[in-house]
Amino acid sequence: MTETTPTTRELDPLEFDKPRVSIRKPEHRFDTQGELPDAARVERAMNSFVRDFGRTAAVYMESCIHCGMCAEACHFYEVTQDPKYTPIWKLEPFKQAYKREYGPFAFVYRALNLKPKVTVDELQQWQHLLYDSCTVCGRCSLMCPMGIDIASLVSQARHGMFKAGLVPHELAAVTERAQREGSPLGATPKVFADRCEWLSDEHDVEITIDKPRAEVLCAMSSIEIMKYPESVVATARIMRHVGADWTFRLDGYEATNFGLLTGDAATQKTLTLKIIHAAVACGAKVVVLPECGHAYTALRWMGANMYGKPLPFKVMHIAEFLAEQVRAGKLRLRKVGKSATFHDPCQLVRRGGAIEAPREVLQALGVELREMYPTKGSNWCCGGGGGVVAIHRADELRHKVFKIKMEQIEETGAELPVTSCANCRQTFDDGQAHFKWDKTMHSLLELVADNLVEDEQ
Amino acid sequence: MSSPLLGEFLRSRGVTRRDFLQFCTTTTALMGLSSTLVPRVATALAQARRPSVIWLPFQECTGCTESITRAHGSTLESLIFQGISLDYQHTLQAAAGDAAERARETAMKENWGRYLLIVDGSIPTGNKGFSTVAGLDNLSLLQEVARGAAAIVALGSCAAFGGIPAANPNPTGAVAVSDVVKDKPIINVSGCPPIPVVITGVLTQYLTFGKLPELDALGRPRSFYGQTIHDRCYRRPFYERGQFADSFDDEGARQGWCLYKLGCRGPTTHNACATVKWNDGTSFPIEAGHGCIGCSEPGFWDKGGFYQPLSTGHWGSARTVGIAVGVGAALGVASAALARKRQKDAEGA
Amino acid sequence: MNLLDFARGPALQWSVAIFIVGVLWRLLGVLLLRTRKDHSEPRNDAAWKGLRLIALRSWPRKEFLGGTAFGEVMGYAFHIGFLLTLFFFVPHVLFFADISRGLFGTDLHGLTGLSWPTLPNGVVMLLSAISIAALVAVLVHRVVNPVKRLISNFDDYFSWLVTIAPLVTGMAAFAHLGGWPYERLLAFHFLSAELLLVWFPFGKLMHAFTIFAARGSTGMLFERKGASL
């Protein structure tokens, strides 16, 4: 199975020639990190757990009535019918630990040993459940009759797993990269700057970098920088089109947050603060996040808490920014006379609340919008979020899930599947390649940029 | 004193054969026996030697005596009593003082091992002076007389279970006959007082078969105490339909609806009131508009107020609830404080 | 003291006390835990509007109904039958009125002149029977369904037992089942309800209280974000 990592290890090389960007499939998986005795791993996991916990999480832990309905909402259960994928089951070791360490009867549980201590074996088994088969999409949270936000508990559990050094190989590798290089996928500041220069020339558009003062700070995701560089161009073109006073900053441009995905709270904070400090440094009034779901969760909803106080700027997803421009009449668009359907990125729509913004933009684009079923908040996850798309051993499972999306889209009969998240997009690309599907996922951002009506210069 | 046979005695008092057989038929039916047994009952009664009966009254109100002698329109019961050689009974006997005690002693000596002992009233076990007869305390008297008895009838709830004297706080240390006498057959004929025909039915059964009737777990004859008032109550359909009197003399009460809400103990009381009734079948408490108070059950004075419905209980008081709230809140605050402290420690670590 | 006296007396007092102590301990022990202020800019200011999730979550979104309809319907059949029986059966109403008078010095009738409504006995028996049937159905489902079988523990089965026992003993007492002594049947009914009270704070039955906190928390958090409720 897996071995503990040696104290020094080679960097896992990234591979860019596959439909989805990740490290190359490892020959030896190192799904535990660090030289730690088992007892210490458990101790750290539980400690982190106790530190993290608050009233809300405790209420959730107390509320589960074992109805099992969360399974009905989860795509991983849907395609396997394997009960181990029941969302709340992912929390089982942590539920036990909660009752034993932190709950109101904790003293009694410990004194009478009513709940045994969690073992390292259990935690190792649970790695697959917490990482490979959870995209933190929140569908389960939407279903739960008790109103438990199961997805948020999974994120908290990942903190414990990280502290215990029990993170899947790929996520550990790219998170370490992000911490060290500033990007999980090789889009270091130098690489980014070089790309921007090259793209700027190639597409004849100014890509502003490191303006000392700007109203709008834009960020990008490594996925776009490395795989969909047209998005960088699209961003620049749109900003120019609407006359925004905008910039990228090399000290804060990376919007993805593998610290969040892995459960590495310290790295999550470091990455988030970079953007915040960059925004503060240039006096930005708005930070526009790229097409990335977890980037939105990380900064829009968690950023201020990393910062410790309200952010001195607004945070918007590019889809929200575009919708705002539509409402202000600042986007002049050609009508795309095709039928389209929108795949809702979980973090943006269901979890993030930007439900109508992408649709406003699509309407402005003049497509014939055919909603898939279910849609908006109830839509199915693409199956690649939360770090799942990066994990090789999860590919088979993820491909099964992808069938749901294909079916949904086929049902609509729409010509253009559109989304607003680069991770969803690469998940679709990978699924399309695997199933030799004839439909390609499009980026809302790029669709807008491609259909701008520019004045003749 | 050699007694004539019961049959001869009755004839000598002018009871016709027809009347006698009628009595036997009625009593047989009341005992829940088949009508084919009537001839046997008649023969047994006719040929019964008038057994000696000694009646000891202890801490009693004389209500049981009153009940049994309240034989309206039926002189047969009282005749049976005269037919039975009632050799010692404070209320009914002519003798008094030493003469009465000598009568008792003589009857005991002549009928040793064969006389029937009837006891009413409870026996005080506290200060011996609480209740005495001719200077002898009740407890000693009972023990002495019981030694020669063939069987004992504990008449009324006091003798059967302790009754009113034994109600909380039981100042006299009152106990039942069965608490004192352990080696003789005892029939508990409970009730406060018991129904007249119940006692005669029990005696008839004893005289006929020479042994105790079938008794329930509390030593009461099953034929009279085998069912609850509730099971034979004529107001039962109203209970089933949920039609209850809410207060005395309200519309429901006037309609004769069920008295459950007014505290009726019918469901938990075993007696024959609902079928045999009182005053020769005139009525019984429920029919008169008052709930059963459960007087034939042990401790019926200490089972909560007579007007508290059976479904209520002693859930505590505002005070006990207040204490529980305080304790619960304290434990809740403490456990939260403990958890927060562990958290702080973990954060420091 | 016979079994009925015990059941209506000390057993009742202790179980009520334990119920109160346990519920407060568990509720306060959770609600007094640390909360962290959320500094993010809300999408919607009136987060309290999210409390409507408490009502909304009472029925799933239609997209989820496929695999959950059975559980939802059975759940409601049980709960409705149980609660109507508990609160509208005459002997129970008398029980609660007695407690009300003891605690507050008055009951509904004393306070408002209105009588607490009651259901006919036949209706209550029917509701109890439906409730029992639903409980049996969900137990079978719990054992047979792979998801529920995996995630179920002692609490699930024991809570089921202490919930069905009062229903069964109640019906048995009312019907004077088998001609058995009514006092004993009534005592069993009291004792089974007391067992329920004693277990209540320590198992999943607490969801009767926590449901408000959980749905409420999530509702307010999601409303704040404009997230799907």
Nearest to A101 among B332, B342, B349 (CB): B342
Cis-peptide, bond into residue B171, ω within 30° of zero: no
- How confident is residue B81, by pLDDT bands cut at 50, 70 and 90? low
Q: Chains touching chain B at 3 or more Cβ pairs under 8 angstroms?
A: A, C
As a whole number of Å, the CA-based R_g of chain A is 22
Q: Phi-psi region for residue A303, left (φ > 0), alpha (ψ -120 to 50) or beta?
A: alpha
Q: Chain C residue with minimal CA distance to A302? A: C40
Q: What is the mean pLDDT of chain A?
A: 93
Q: Do A67 and C67 touch (CB under 8 A)?
A: no
For chain C, list residues with pLDDT below 50: none
Taking an 8 Å cut-off on Cβ atoms, the answer to whether B339 and A106 are in contact is yes
Distances from the Cα of B84 to the Cα of B58, B149, C145, angstroms: 21, 15, 75
Identify which of B230, B261, B268 has the shortest CB distance to residue C4.
B268
Confidence at residue B92, expressed as pLDDT on a 0 to 100 scale: 77
pLDDT tens-digit map of B108-164:
998 899 888 999 999 999 988 899 988 899 999 999 999 999 999 999 999 999 999
**What's the pLDDT score for residue C107?**
83
Nearest to B338 among A51, A53, A107 (CB): A107
Inspect the interface and report whether the beta carbons of C121 and B242 lie closer than 8 Å. Answer: yes
Contact A428, A352 (CB under 8 A): no
Q: Tell me, what amino acid is at B310?
A: L
Torsion angle (degrees, nearest 10) of CA A440, A441, A446, A448 = 100
Q: How far is A122 from chain C (nearest CA, A)?
A: 15
Cα–Cα distance for residue pair C36/B191, rounded to 1 Å: 69
pLDDT tier for residue A368 given thresholds of 50, 70 and 90: very high
Which residues share a beta bridge with A416?
A340
pLDDT for position C56: 94
As beta bridge partners, residue A419 has: A443
Residue A303 has pLDDT above 60, yes or no: yes
In this complex, how many residue pairs, one in chain A and one in chain B, have their CB atoms less than 8 Å apart?
Answer: 27
Among A303, A406, A393, A449, which Cα is nearest to A22's?
A: A393
Instruction: Pick the residue from chain B with its C-alpha nearest to A99.
Output: B339
Whole-angstrom Cα distance, residue B313 to residue B303?
9
Looking at chain A, the whole-number percentage of residues with pLDDT higher than 90 is 81
Residue C39 to residue A308, Cβ atoms within 8 A: yes
CB A356 within 8 A of CB A430: no
Chain C positions touching B335 (Cβ under 8 A) are 25, 28-29
Given CB atoms, is C55 within the 8 Å cutoff of chain A? no
Is pLDDT above 50 for B72?
Answer: no
CB proximity B343 to A under 8 Å = yes
Enumerate neighbours of C (3 or more CB pairs within 8 A). A, B
The H-or-E segment that residue B85 falls in is strand B85-88
Cβ atoms of C223 and C49 within 8 Å: the answer is yes
Q: What is the dihedral of CA A351, A130, A399, A347, to 10 degrees?
A: 10
**Least confidently predicted of A18-32, A194-208, A256-270, B144-158:** A18-32
Query: Taking 90 as the threshold, does the pLDDT of residue A283 lie above it?
Result: yes
> Quick one: pLDDT band at residue B281, thresholds 50, 70, 90?
confident
Of the partner residues B260, B268, B328, the one whose CB lies closest to the CB of residue C22: B328
Q: Inform me whether the pLDDT recorded for A196 exceeds 90.
A: yes
Of A48 and B167, more confident: B167
In this complex, the residue of A50, A104, A107 whose CB is nearest that of residue B343 is: A50
Establish if C214 touches chain A: CB-CB under 8 angstroms. Answer: yes
> Can you give the pLDDT at residue B103?
87
Query: A11: pLDDT confidence band, cut at 50, 70 and 90?
Result: low
- CATH fold for the domain made of B6-225: Rossmann fold (3.40.50)
Nearest to B349 among A47, A105, A106 (CB): A47
Residues of A in contact with C52 (CB under 8 A): none
Domain locations in chain B?
6-225, 229-348
Which chain B residue has the Cα nearest residue C103? B318
Kind of pairing between the strands at B52-57 and A442-443: unpaired
Q: Which residue of C has its CA nearest to A51?
A: C34
pLDDT (tens digit per residue) in A105-156: 988 998 998 878 889 999 999 999 999 999 999 999 999 999 999 999 999 9
Tokens coding B298: 């042990």
Q: Which of C39, C138, C209 to mutate to test the interface with A (most CBs of A within 10 A)?
A: C39
pLDDT one-digit tens code per residue, B200-252 = 788 777 766 778 889 999 999 998 999 999 989 999 999 988 899 999 999 99
Count of alpha carbons within 13 angstroms of residue C217, beta-carbon side: 25
- Provide the pLDDT for residue A10: 57
Q: Do C120 and B267 touch (CB under 8 A)?
A: no
Which structure tokens are listed for A380? Answer: 């199915």
Look at the domain B229-348 and name its fold. Cytochrome-c3 Hydrogenase; Chain A, domain 2 (4.10.480)
Helices B318-348 and A38-52: crossing angle in degrees, nearest 10, is: 120
Residue-wise DSSP of B263-317: T--GGG-B-STTTT-BTTTTB-TTTTT-----TTSTTGGGSS-TTS-TT------
Closest residue in A to B347 (Cα) is: A51
What's the pLDDT score for residue B75? Answer: 47
Q: What is the pLDDT of residues A387-440, one digit of tens each?
A: 999 999 999 999 999 999 999 999 999 999 999 999 999 999 999 999 999 999
3-state secondary structure of B215: strand
Mutate to test the interface with A, among B340, B341, B343 (most CBs of A within 10 A): B343
What pTM was computed for the model? Answer: 0.88
Confidence band for B31, pLDDT divided at 50, 70 and 90: confident
Residue B79 has pLDDT above 60, yes or no: no
pLDDT per residue over A389-403, tens digit each?
A: 999 999 999 999 999
- Give the model confidence (pLDDT) of A289-299 as tens digits: 999 999 999 99
